[in-house]
Amino acid sequence: MASPTAGDAPLAAPAADATDAALAAAAAVPDPDAEFGFQRPELGKEKLVGTVGFHERHVFLCYKGPDVWPSHLEAAESDRLPRLLAAAIKARKPNLKKTIKLTICEGEDGTESSNGDVLIFPDMIRYKGLTHFDVDNFVEEVLVKDIDWLPGSPEPMSGSYVFVCSHGSRDKRCGVCGPALIKRFKEEINGLGLDGQVSVSACSHVGGHKYAGNVIIFSSDAKGDVTGHWYGYVVPDDVPVLLHKHIEQGEIVDHLWRGQMGLSEEQQKQALELRSMLNGGKESLEETGTDGASCNPAAAGGCCQGNGGFTCCQTDLPKEKQDKSMAAEQNPKSSEENDKEGGAVSKKGNTKTCPMPTWFETWERADTYAALAVVAAAAAVFVSFRIYKNLN
């Protein structure tokens, strides 16, 4: 067998160099999950409760999908329908019957949620086929006058609806966390035989990128009332818990709870404090809900926070248009508060045992007032009795 010539030997070196270079390049590529997903170091480090801006009605417009959504969908010139709807709601804001939040959700023609469909919560109604020609009339009839829209009759909705922020062009955290959560939701829903009872959909920016994964659930509570509960720092292993506790049992999962529709930010904090007291929890509000990862067996990190000057928020608008585009959101003040990046960070590094949810977690604002009234009445009786004894 002929031995290799002197000219053949050097050919092995470039091949080895190319392999080493390819491995080095692969190693240099950042892991999106570690940087923006569920393994990011800052996941679960900030308080969640009280981070939902006040709104009484949540309107979802079904329109295309997150893969084609621009960063500021409600202000994009190329997307006429969401832009006109956002502008019409903003223009009629002083005359609205209820404070409204507008969000875009995934739409696909030929499905239950086709492009142009409008879902309204907590009303649990759907209007089909809104076009840009109908926007002003729709807002006037449905959202201002609170009557049926004549071109189309409202269709009642039933079951539970889950919306997961997957607006990757707005923020990379949501772009990484959202699709993974939707995938897990669909797997669990199918495995539990809940198809047709629980619907899950991608949605646009809801406020609070740093709390990704962000999940909103509309379902009936123990009283049969429908409201929207917001959850943050949700990771895939939390999905079975949310389905079992929140949707099947009507119980709030406190350690992931950001707040709910219909409550102010302060009322959200008070509601969590009251549930904690009723559950016999020893943690104060300052400790409860500050560290999602502590109560979350799967959370070891998360999507980017913007701490220390770093942010992964995306925009495709010129700088001079960015401020104007934000006006399309229905609660800009609350939205800005939701997106503040410098909130308090939990100083406790030890893991905490989450209190088991009970039926008290369905406690509503009216129940709180009733309980306070009873306490006040009891105190008045006690004081009157003491005065009577002293006079005698």
Per-residue pLDDT tens for 208-239?
999 999 999 999 877 888 989 999 999 999 99
Separation CA 127–CA 118 (nearest Å) = 5
Range of the domain at 134: 57-276
- 29 part of a folded domain: no
- 211 part of a folded domain: yes
- 245 part of a folded domain: yes
Q: Which of 325, 24, 375 is nearest to 170 (CA)?
A: 325
Q: Does the pTM exceed 0.75?
A: no
Number of domains in the chain: 1
- 345 part of a folded domain: no
Average pLDDT, integer, range 316-330? 48
Average pLDDT, integer, range 153-170? 94
Q: Is the peptide bond before 309 cis (omega within 30 degrees of 0)?
A: no
C-beta neighbour count of 281 within 10 angstroms: 18
Separation CA 103–CA 60 (nearest Å) = 5
Average pLDDT, integer, range 283-307? 42
**Mean pLDDT, all residues of the chain:** 78
Question: Residue 118: beta bridge partners?
Answer: 61, 127
Does 130 or 344 have the greater pLDDT score? 130
* pLDDT tier at 139, thresholds 50, 70, 90: very high
The answer to whether residue 263 scores a pLDDT higher than 90 is yes
The answer to whether residue 308 scores a pLDDT higher than 50 is no
Give the least confident one: 74-83, 183-192, 305-314. 305-314
Distances (CA, A) of 149 to 137, 158, 247, 331: 8, 20, 31, 24
- 295 part of a folded domain: no
Domain holding 69: CATH number?
A: 3.40.30.10
